[in-house]
Amino acid sequence: MGGKPIWLYQLSKAGKLCVPAMNVNDSVTKQKFDNLYCCRESILDGLKRTTDVMFGGKQVVVCGYGEVGKGCCAALKALGAIVYITEIDPICALQACMDGFRVVKLNEVIRQVDVVITCTGNKNVVTREHLDRMKNSCIVCNMGHSNTEIDVTSLRTPELTWERVRSQVDHVIWPDGKRVVLLAEGRLLNLSCSTVPTFVLSITATTQALALIELYNAPEGRYKQDVYLLPKKMDEYVASLHLPSFDAHLTELTDDQAKYLGLNKNGPFKPNYYRY
């Protein structure tokens, strides 16, 4: 499934990338289906399987309101949870406000929330200071790109006791008896504690396969030793392959309509900068 390939861009910027690379994670089909729609379901699946928590009335803070965060928040809100958002990006923060969520700093709500979910792709989003201030039985988990978001290493100290409750569920116990429920030791909750629907896997695998085919068949010189996004036409093709699953029927442009819009009748239908 993978996360944003930051290291690829770092290699490219340093001139150390030996071959052309395709950034599949930022393709539209990957972002929307794996990150948004899949996480909208797997966040609840993972939390229910591991904790059996009831979400109605629970206070939840979701760190990050990108595609993963948006999916998580939509699911939690639908079940009656009170959801807070933390964000560094003013555009994502404004989207969260318009979607009915309160945007806060983590320090402002850390003492009162029942669940903390990280979805940023960053490191040390939840630090030992935050963990020390959490209420008893607070659930902490990660839906982001890697296991760097929660500072789990800081919890492996002599004064704290770890108790394995069930698979992928640990209680970290403070000297005063307070327990924090840590899921999957800070690894990806949806991959560690739930399942990924085959439909989503199909979309992601198709995108990856087409990227490999494009790189393999491309004429010499089309791609240099750099990182590229999947061509828009291929993104649309991936989507079209999966429409029959829903018995969906696309409307076709007339010649006159295509001319009016300045488009090819067969696509691509949106410019590369269109965000969907």
pLDDT digits (tens, 9 = 90+) for 78-101: 999 999 999 999 999 999 999 999
pLDDT tens readout for residues 25-63: 888 888 888 889 999 999 999 999 999 999 999 999 999
* 2 has pLDDT over 70: no
CA distance 170 to 82: 25
pTM of the model: 0.90
pLDDT tens readout for residues 209-263: 999 999 999 998 899 999 998 889 999 999 999 999 999 999 999 999 999 999 9
Q: Where, residue-wise, is CATH 3.40.50.720 in the chain? A: 29-193
Angle at 126 between CA 194 and CA 189, to 5 degrees: 5
What is the assigned CATH class of domain 29-193?
alpha beta
Among candidate residues 194, 202, 230, the one with its CA nearest the CA of residue 214: 230
